[in-house]
Structures are given as structure tokens and as C-alpha cells.
Amino acid sequence: MIVWAGLELFVILVYIPWLLTQSPSGTLLNTPPLPGLDPYLELQAPNGQIVAENDRWRPEIPDAYIRHTFDVTGVYIVYLSSLNPSSTGGYVLSVSDGFTLRDVPRGRLVLNVSSQGRLETYGARNIWQLEVADVNEPIQIDVEALDPSRFDVMAELVAPDGDVWFDNDSGEATNARLSNLLLDQPGLYRLNIAANNNASIGAYRIIWRLARDLFTPTPSLTPTPRPTFTPTPPTPAPPSGTFAGEVAPGASFEVFVAANAGNDLNIVVLGLEGFDPVLRVFDPANTLLLEVDDVSNSTDPRTRLTVAQSGLHRLEVRGYDGSGGRFTLNYIVR
């Protein structure tokens, strides 16, 4: 690689015990675990001298990491080997000016509404946004890996002024939790979701709530009267947005959108990796307005609806014939 003097780069290598392969039908499959590679990195300068090397950056996983500021312009060579001559395996090698290789915008999170996302590639980072209006209310953010055996998720909340809160495993197992955050400024916050050490990929579920809305049961030795339950109205999503999610077979995803009579509601659902989504739209009285499956030669539903009644409209995405899969939902109210 050609670099210029004064440039600082990160060279990161991570051993990946599971790799994604593609079947003849196009389905992504996990291959069996590969043998244990013990990676070793060396960085050679244009004069042939080894100027940096590394074996284990974090002792708990097989990886290697070099952070180097180059003092000479020229061609540098990165050597990758294994300390154990008999070991082989898959790996990811990245060279960048930071740990994150690619930021993927995922849209805005709605208070008390669960959303789903997915890290598609190693080194990717999902970027969510959340609007904080009341700085006197502590909040909690939970991020749950849908397959914790293969995906170790971490969360980072960035305030408008750049303050950062980070968590890796407070949510038990490989989940992340930022709890009792008393934020000192209103505004638009950025929530970064990535894999621990960029060493895994997978889907996750995310939700942010006010701390006072969290329920902790209190043990009692005597029966208590059954409380009356008043349903909490759903929190509307913003006038436009994008949700990236995944539904299990037989399940559905829903979001509530506020619209006034006479507004146009434009909706597009894109199925990913062969998923055939079905879109249903309900009015504020929970009456089904329409159901859209295929449009023209595409299996992706899309529609434009003129709203007849003001209020919250429910957008529901499910799989055709009860199937499951990943999708993105895009909508705008005009």
C-alpha cells in the first residue's frame, strides 16, 4: 500500500471462526467453524525494515492490531501469518483511519417502539438517531442480539456536543444496555451500533425508553388486587423515515404514523435476500385500508394512499405465506 508521511492508519486483523457462504439458490449460509488461526501482523517500511508488529491485541480473542503514524512516504507491505505454522482459518484484514470501515444510516428511533437492524458486513456500524426533549427524565437503551451465540453487540450514544456513553455487555450475555442516563441537553442524539472488535455480524433488536416506564416487579407475600389497565397509545413515528428490520416466520413488524385527512402517505417496502414482504395499512380505528403484495414484476410492495381520517395509521410488514426475512420500510407523509 502507498502512504504519505504524517498519515496515521489502523491495520486490524480479526480471525473469523464462521464465514458466510452462498448456496446455488442464493441463500446465505454459515459454514462450519474453521480451524483456529493465531494471526500475526508485521508492517514493513519502504527500506525493508519492520516498523511495527503485533500478535494479540485483546487476549480473549485471536486478533492483531497495529496503529502507526508513517514518517516516510512510499510503499509499505503488510505481512500476515500465523504463529502456529499448522493452523489455518478465515480472517478479515482492514486498513483505515479508524476502527469503523463503513457507517450505515438506519433512521430515527421512536420512544418505546422496538426496531430491528442488522450488521451486514464485518467492520460496519449502524447509525440510529433519537430525539431527546426532556433532559430531566433518565432513559435506558437496550440492544439485544437475536443470535447471541454468534453476535456480540455494543452500543455508543453520542450527544449533540460530542459527549459519549458506551456499553458492551451490561445487557447480559452479548447484549448491550445503557441505563439511567440523565442527559443534560435536549436535541438529536446519535446511537452507534457495532460488533465487539468488529469480529461478528448479525441482527439485533433495539429500544429506548424512559426509566420511569420500566417495570421492576416487587415480591409480595399477600395477594394484591388486580390493577386496572389503561393501554398506552402508541408513539407516532416522524413524518418520514426508514426502518430496517427482520421478521421471524409468522411474525410481523409494525410502526404508527400520524397523518391528517387529505395527506398523501407514500410507502415502499424492499425485501432483502429473497424475502417476499406483504404490506398492510390500518386507519386510526384499526380498520384494514389495503393490503399490497406484488407490484408489476416486483415482489416489493409500494403504494400511495390519500388519508381520509386524521390520526395514527398502522403500517404492518409480514412475510408472504408466513415466511420470515429482512426488509427496509420507507415512508413519507406529504
- pLDDT tens-digit profile of 141-170? 999 988 877 788 888 899 998 888 877 666
Q: In the block, which residue shows the cell 440510529?
A: 128
Query: Quick one: pLDDT at residue 62?
Result: 65
Residue ranges of domains in the chain: 2-96, 102-213, 240-333
> Partners of 264 in the beta sheet?
306
Q: How confident is the model at residue 319 (pLDDT cuts 50, 70, 90)?
A: very high
Q: How confident is the model at residue 22 (pLDDT cuts 50, 70, 90)?
A: very low
User: Is residue 105 exposed (0-12), middle (13-18) or buried (19+ Cβ within 10 Å)?
Assistant: exposed
Domain 2-96 shares a fold with domain 102-213: yes
pLDDT of residue 243 exceeding 50, the answer is: yes
Q: How far is CA 155 from the centre of its chain?
A: 9
Q: In the block, which residue shows the cell 462450519?
A: 32
- What CATH number was assigned to the domain covering residues 240-333? 2.60.120.380
- What CATH number was assigned to the domain covering residues 2-96? 2.60.120.380
pLDDT of residue 21 exceeding 50, the answer is: no
Considering the entire predicted model, what is its pTM?
0.45
Across residues 240-261, what is the average pLDDT?
Answer: 85
- pLDDT tens-digit profile of 64-93? 767 778 888 888 888 888 777 777 776 667
- What class, spelled out in words, does domain 102-213 have in CATH? mainly beta
Query: Quick one: pLDDT at residue 168?
Result: 66
